[in-house]
Structure 1
Amino acid sequence: MGEPRRVDLEALKRVLMEHEGQVGVFERVIGFRPATASGYKAVHLMNDLAQCALGGAPQHGGDLLARVIRVDVEGEDNSEASMRADERFGAAFDRAFPSELGLDRIQALRVAAREVLSFDGGVYQPGTSMCSPLATHRDLLGFEQFRRFGVGRLLADVLPPEGLAKMREHLERDGDPVSRAFRPLLLAAPLVDKQKPGEPVERTPFDRRFGEGLTTLMGQALSKPMMLRTVALGACLGLVLKILGAGRDGGRPALLALSNAEDRGPKPLRDAAVASFRRGVDSLDRRVAALVPSHPLAPELMKRAGAKAPSVEVPDTRKLENLAASVIPAARAAKSDVEIYWPDDFAAKIGRRVGCVLPMSDRAGWGRHLALSPELVEILVLMHVASGQHATPWSRFWARVREELGVVVGANPTEDVAFLAHAGVENVSDESLADNAEAILAHAVRRGVARRLPDGEAEVGGELS
């Protein structure tokens, strides 16, 4: 056996991630660019999806809203006098806040607007393209830099035409309470789309089922702000599932989900849930390695790294396919200043924010696993049982979730054991699975989307409560 080959990590990064307009392998595998997710939230996803559905954001980029909300930010002159004298927004500010209201009343209204639309500090300095409220109307949308990830574009491609039409319809109506309250700030302007079209990405059966589920969710009898929230959370859960299923047939993962409720008792299925998450990452890595040789910059990986270049060692080979299979795990294990944003790290960060990935920190010592909060269980029900549809038996509902989204909780213990075993997660207790499903059912009943029946069975539906 020859000496180990040293592979340049910077060269690998150029292959895996976007470089000078060249789509990276990660984006080809999962359909979007998994850049750093340190500040990425569900609200950014919804802002992006809204702009993809509508064809952009108003030309003012949300700057009026930002200046109104950032009423007392140090270093910015957003005072009432400055706003009234502003060349761009003075007339709009006068209409929204007539001087007859008085200084105190106007100040209170601006602070109230901040509390509603920037409760998480998501509306940044005007002109920075970082205006990301959970906008209920197209004229409240603002530009924001996280669109470069391409998540909204992916979701727009996943949604069927009727799903995109529903999203546009919601955002063009101003009859909901939030839009009515902010009607004075709805500043109409031509739409501008700053996001460049991406390369077509093959859509999987998982993508189609996921898009259909989001469309069903948009048709539920919810207030518009609640609908937008549930779509955002459901879409974040779907992104996690997509990443962990990217290397499997049809793009469907094979994940055991535990309850994310506030209980501190023993978790006998945690090892199995962690193992299923790891199997998803392993299959993702195999898919990435399989596509590396076809990338235009991949031949650079065969050149030996310079003496001072950040690198990893792999077995020597003359075949790019063999090198790709060994360099991915080596790069994961390497401690280097070269930042490669692994898709599963993106999944963990966004998943923790919406309650579908535990533990909340890798410092906890336990591996990552999928979890379902009571709210996410409710969202799954609303994605699969349309408004006006008869209630669905609990076990049949979870059989459908397994077949379409690749998630099991133990509602069909024998079938779920076989499903996990096929994915490489062996020796899962069917009794523990049944207990896990019972715990999740209890939370679904409290959320009002499930009910127990006199014969000991249960059913789910969005209108049960």
Structure 2
Amino acid sequence: MGEPRKVDLEALKRVLMEHEGHVGVFERVIGFRPASASGYKAVHLMNDLAQCALGGAPQHGGDFLARVIRVDIEDEDNTEAAMRADERFGVAFDRAFPPELGPDRIEALRVAAREVLSFDGGVYQPGTSMCSPLATHRDLLGFEQFRRFGVGRLLADVLPPGGLAKMREHLESDGDPVTRAFRPLLLSAPLVEKQKRNEAVERTPFDRRFGEALTTLMGQPLSKPMMLRTVALGACLGLVLKILGAGREGGRPALLALLNAEEPGPKPLREAAVTSLRRGIDSLDRRVAALVPEHPLAAELMKKASSKSPSVEVPDTRKLETLAASVIPAARAAKSYDDIYWPDDFAVKIGRKAGCVLPKTDRAGWGRHLALSPELVEVLVLMHVSSGQRAMTWSRFWARVREELGVVVGANPNEDIAFLAHAGIENVSDESLADNAEALLAHAVRRGIARRLPDGEAEVGGELS
């Protein structure tokens, strides 16, 4: 064995992430471009998906809405007088807020609009391309920089034509309560698409099943605000599963999900759940390493690293394939270098916000794992049991979730144990699995998602008899 080889981390970053028109290995593996997700929220995901489905956002880019709701921001003149005199939006403002309403009522209405449409602070200064309101209609959409990640494009690509048509139908309808309430703020304009589309990446069997499940969800008889919320939650969960299954056959993960609820007592399956998530990251890394040698810039990794550049040491080798397999874990361990945005970090951050990854912070001292709240169980039911379809038994429902999305909760203990063992998660107790499924069922029954049957089984979906 020769002296260790130093690999330039900046060169590795250029291979893993987009650089000068070259699609990064991460994007090839997970279907979108991971970046720092600290500020990324479900509203950005839905804004992006909406623009991909419609073909862009209104030409004004959300600037009218931004100025209306940013009523008391220092260094911005969004006063009533300034808005009425504005060449670009004066007419629209007069129509939305007739002077006879009076200044107090007008300010109260503007503040109320802010509380609803920018409850998470997602609407920034006009002209900054950071307008992500709660958009129930196409005319409330705005440009925003988070679209560069390509998450909306991925979701639009996995949706079948019927799913995209349903999304467009929802966003072009103005009959829901939220859109009716804010009808005066709807400012129609030609659609503009500002995001360039990169080369298409390969879609997996998981992607197709996930897209079909989202389409089923969009066909449920829900109000539009509730529909958009459930689509956002389902999409966030799907992104987590997509990333953690990217290295496995067909893109399907193998994850044990625990109940996300304040339950007292020990959690005997926590270690197995944590292990299943770690196995997903390990398989992701192996897939990334396998594709590194194919990247146009991969040869730079074999060059001698400059003493002034951040680098990691790996065993010396003359084969790029061998180097790739060792440099990925070495780069992960390089705590002083955080310019590489690992896909699983994105998954954890968006998953925590959606309630499907625990713990909520790393300060808890124990590993991360997939978790399902009763609301997320309801989302999964809506994704897998169509409106008008006969009820599905609890065990069959979870068998289908396992087959399509790679998630188990223990509703089919023997089959779930075999599924997890195949993914390297051994020695899982069938009794603990059954207890986990029962805890989820109890919460689902209380929420009205499931109902128990006289024969001891339970069912989800369908009409109540």
TM-score range, shorter chain: over 0.9
Match for residue 415 of structure 2? Answer: 415
Cα RMSD after superposing both structures: 1.0
Equivalent position SS for 1:139: helix
- Given that 1:218 and 1:227 are in contact with CA atoms closer than 8 Å, whether structure 2 keeps it comes out as yes
- Given that 1:259 and 1:440 are in contact with CA atoms closer than 8 Å, whether structure 2 keeps it comes out as yes
Q: Distance in 2 between matches of 1:30 and 1:5?
A: 29
The 1:376/1:462 distance shift into structure 2, 3 A limit, reads farther
> Counterpart of 1:194 in structure 2: which amino acid?
K
> Counterpart of 1:213 in structure 2: which amino acid?
A
Listed as ranges, the matches of 1:66-465 within 5 Å are 66-461=66-461, 464=464
1:445 CA drift (Å): 1.0
Equivalent position SS for 2:309: coil
- Given that 2:11 and 2:300 are in contact with CA atoms closer than 8 Å, whether structure 1 keeps it comes out as yes
Q: Distance in 1 between matches of 2:264 and 2:361?
A: 16
Match for residue 60 of structure 2? Answer: 60
Q: Distance in 2 between matches of 1:14 and 1:394?
A: 47
> Counterpart of 1:353 in structure 2: which amino acid?
K
The 1:81/1:160 distance shift into structure 2, 3 A limit, reads same
Count of matched residue pairs: 465
1:462 CA drift (Å): 6.3
Equivalent position SS for 1:275: helix
1:441 CA drift (Å): 0.7
List 4+ stretches of structure 1 deviating above 6 A: none
Match for residue 49 of structure 1? Answer: 49
Q: Distance in 2 between matches of 1:154 and 1:271?
A: 32
Equivalent position SS for 1:236: helix
Superposed CA deviations along residues 145-203 of structure 1, whole A, max 9, x for unmatched, are 00000000000000000000000000001011111111111111000001101211111
Q: Distance in 2 between matches of 1:383 and 1:134?
A: 22
Equivalent position SS for 2:451: strand
Equivalent position SS for 1:33: coil
The 1:345/1:463 distance shift into structure 2, 3 A limit, reads farther
- Given that 2:390 and 2:463 are in contact with CA atoms closer than 8 Å, whether structure 1 keeps it comes out as no
Q: Distance in 2 between matches of 1:319 and 1:155?
A: 37
1:268 CA drift (Å): 0.2
Superposed CA deviations along residues 116-152 of structure 1, whole A, max 9, x for unmatched, are 1111111111111111012000000000000000000
- Given that 2:392 and 2:462 are in contact with CA atoms closer than 8 Å, whether structure 1 keeps it comes out as no
- Given that 2:160 and 2:212 are in contact with CA atoms closer than 8 Å, whether structure 1 keeps it comes out as yes
Runs of at least 5 residues in structure 2 that lack an aligned partner in the other structure: none
> Counterpart of 2:362 in structure 1: which amino acid?
D
Match for residue 34 of structure 2? Answer: 34
Q: Distance in 1 between matches of 2:104 and 2:352?
A: 40
- Given that 1:131 and 1:144 are in contact with CA atoms closer than 8 Å, whether structure 2 keeps it comes out as yes
Q: Distance in 2 between matches of 1:192 and 1:463?
A: 43
Q: Distance in 1 between matches of 2:314 and 2:364?
A: 31
Q: Distance in 1 between matches of 2:443 and 2:221?
A: 21
1:308 CA drift (Å): 2.3
1:271 CA drift (Å): 0.2
Q: Distance in 1 between matches of 2:155 and 2:419?
A: 27
- Given that 1:382 and 1:462 are in contact with CA atoms closer than 8 Å, whether structure 2 keeps it comes out as no
1:309 CA drift (Å): 1.5
Q: Distance in 1 between matches of 2:298 and 2:363?
A: 35
Superposed CA deviations along residues 73-126 of structure 1, whole A, max 9, x for unmatched, are 122111100000000000000000000111111111111111111111111111
- Given that 1:15 and 1:24 are in contact with CA atoms closer than 8 Å, whether structure 2 keeps it comes out as yes
Percent of residue pairs bearing the same amino acid type: 88
Q: Distance in 2 between matches of 1:269 and 1:105?
A: 55
TM-score using structure 1 length: 0.99
1:338 CA drift (Å): 4.6
Equivalent position SS for 2:296: coil
Q: Distance in 2 between matches of 1:463 and 1:19?
A: 53
TM-score using structure 2 length: 0.99
Equivalent position SS for 1:313: strand
> Counterpart of 2:384 in structure 1: which amino acid?
H
The 1:464/1:90 distance shift into structure 2, 3 A limit, reads farther
Equivalent position SS for 1:257: strand
Q: Distance in 2 between matches of 1:41 and 1:414?
A: 37
Equivalent position SS for 2:446: helix
Equivalent position SS for 1:371: strand
Superposed CA deviations along residues 348-370 of structure 1, whole A, max 9, x for unmatched, are 00000000001111222111100
Q: Distance in 2 between matches of 1:389 and 1:461?
A: 8
- Given that 1:289 and 1:328 are in contact with CA atoms closer than 8 Å, whether structure 2 keeps it comes out as yes
> Counterpart of 1:92 in structure 2: which amino acid?
A
> Counterpart of 1:174 in structure 2: which amino acid?
D
Equivalent position SS for 1:459: strand
Equivalent position SS for 1:152: helix
The 1:392/1:297 distance shift into structure 2, 3 A limit, reads same
- Given that 2:116 and 2:134 are in contact with CA atoms closer than 8 Å, whether structure 1 keeps it comes out as no
